[in-house]
Amino acid sequence: MVMVEGMSGSWLQKALLIVAVAGAIAGCGGGGQAAGGGDPEAGKTSLRSVDWPYFGRVPERTHYIAEAPDPPFRFGWVFWAHQLIEFPPAIAGDAMFLVNKTGEVYALDTGNGKVRWQRNTGRNVTGPAYADGRLYVAQFGGGFVALDAKTGEQRWAFHSPSHLESSPLAIGSRVYFGSDGGLLYALDASTGKVAWKRSLGAPIKASPTYHDGVLYVGDYHGRIHAVSAADGRPRWTENTGDGGGFYSSPAVAFGRVYEARDDGTVFALTLDGHPTWRFAASNAIYSSPSVGDIPGAGPMLFVGSYNHQLYALDASTGKKRWSYDVGGQIPGSPTVVGTTVYTSSFDTSKTVGLDAANGKPVWTWGSAGYEPMVSDGRRVFLIGYQTIWAFDDCAPPGKGSEPAGGSAAGSVPVCKRSANAHLIDVARALRLDRPLSSAAR
């Protein structure tokens, strides 16, 4: 595991002094800063590039990508957004779209972390969504904008009379999201005009999920809804009881809808709304579930709790396969990239990667975020509190690998990067990242 501990005070001061000089040279214009490892071979793998266009990656919001690098990694670059990154970025082709908590939107080059354009949309935004050359961003105050993904120019704007905490989902000619006023919206993706809206009778803080023409979403009164994506007509509603509401977004896989209530209960329902199993954690869950068919383990569900545990459940039965104590509250959603599941806690200021099949730790990084890892299939990107870290496959197909264990016992090498340079990068990020616990969708 790559650990970032045990730095002496004198070493840390020297590291930060060096970084201060390096940052002035490597800083990228427009407010954000990118610094790279300077490795010309970075990113040269035979892995296929894919998009991660919105929260959850696919319309079913599984938070899972099967074909992607697993640890160990080679460090590529790091970008500083200067403010909280509460939601993961959207990735389309070689562009990454990142939004911080003050509403600053950055378009980055995934190859080097450099800023292509930058625009401020206002405070307290939700996760960005990309589709067909447009980037969609919702604001807590009710604003909703579509930006040109190449230039950042505004295409259109819409205003909701109530707060927006739901991250948008762009499917075909529509973009979907919920409001605190209990309305589920479908807007025309080209014009921003309302195609339909449906009152669900309770605040919608979660993000809608799509599968086979149907939208699924939980409300804050503990009900799960299925409505037609075409016209908003209700298909079914399941009341899960009075235990709590849904802050997390549902995932759809294996013929089921999976949803986690904020009192710590995980539910599995058939696609026609019949409950099949439930699992109870001992503390709150604000994490959205991640689901995937894990090699050697089969269908599994992963979810984090405020009781410090990352749970791996059998997606078919709800039985616990394994759990891992990360050492602090887990506020955000786990992601499965390749065969590794990632989670993090601000209490430990670390992100940990675990073997998804058995829960054994395989990688650690000294920066924590809400949804800690996304991937374009060629690289992986770790989302810290205010930072984005890019990593490449340590041993691309056809190339030799570094010996497991590296130069220090029990560690995995950061390929082609000196230990000192690696520590400088981490020291700078930890100095900038000042995490505060809160819930995430």
Note the pLDDT tens digit of each residue in 266-318: 999 999 999 999 999 999 999 999 999 999 999 999 999 999 999 999 999 99
**Tokens found for residue 32:** 């954000």
Task: Kindly state whether residue 441 falls inside one of the protein's structural domains.
Answer: no
Task: Kindly state whether residue 98 falls inside one of the protein's structural domains.
Answer: yes
Task: Kindly state whether residue 20 falls inside one of the protein's structural domains.
Answer: yes
Three-state DSSP string of 238-251: EECCCCCCCCCCCE
Task: Kindly state whether residue 2 falls inside one of the protein's structural domains.
Answer: no
pLDDT at 220: 96
* Main-chain dihedrals φ then ψ at residue 137, nearest 5 degrees: -135, 130
Task: Kindly state whether residue 439 falls inside one of the protein's structural domains.
Answer: no
Closest CA relative to residue 301, chosen from 316, 286, 284, 283 = 316
Between 2 and 291, the more confident residue is 291
Task: Kindly state whether residue 440 falls inside one of the protein's structural domains.
Answer: no
**Tokens found for residue 261:** 């209530």
Q: How far, CA to CA in Å, does 347 sit from each of 351, 387, 436?
A: 11, 17, 9
Q: 57 with 76: CB under 8 angstroms?
A: no
Read off the CATH number of the domain in which 339 is found. Answer: 2.130.10.10
Task: Kindly state whether residue 437 falls inside one of the protein's structural domains.
Answer: no
Measured at the CA of 279, the angle between CA 273 and CA 284, to 5 degrees, comes to 105
C-alpha–C-alpha distance, residues 301 and 321, integer Å: 10
* pLDDT tens, residue by residue, 318-376: 999 999 999 999 999 999 999 999 999 999 999 999 999 999 999 999 899 998 999 99
Task: Kindly state whether residue 27 falls inside one of the protein's structural domains.
Answer: yes
Closest CA relative to residue 179, chosen from 209, 147, 208 = 208
Q: 423 with 8: CB under 8 angstroms?
A: no
C-alpha–C-alpha distance, residues 166 and 178, integer Å: 5
Name the DSSP letter for residue 57: S
Q: In what order do the strands lie in the sheet with 214-218?
A: 209-211, 214-218, 223-228, 234-239
Q: Please tell me the pTM assigned to this model.
A: 0.85
Structural domain including 290 reads 9-432
C-alpha–C-alpha distance, residues 83 and 371, integer Å: 16
pLDDT at 209: 98
* Number of domains present in the structure of the chain: 1
Q: 427 with 8: CB under 8 angstroms?
A: no
Q: How far, CA to CA in Å, does 1 sit from each of 289, 365, 388?
A: 25, 8, 20
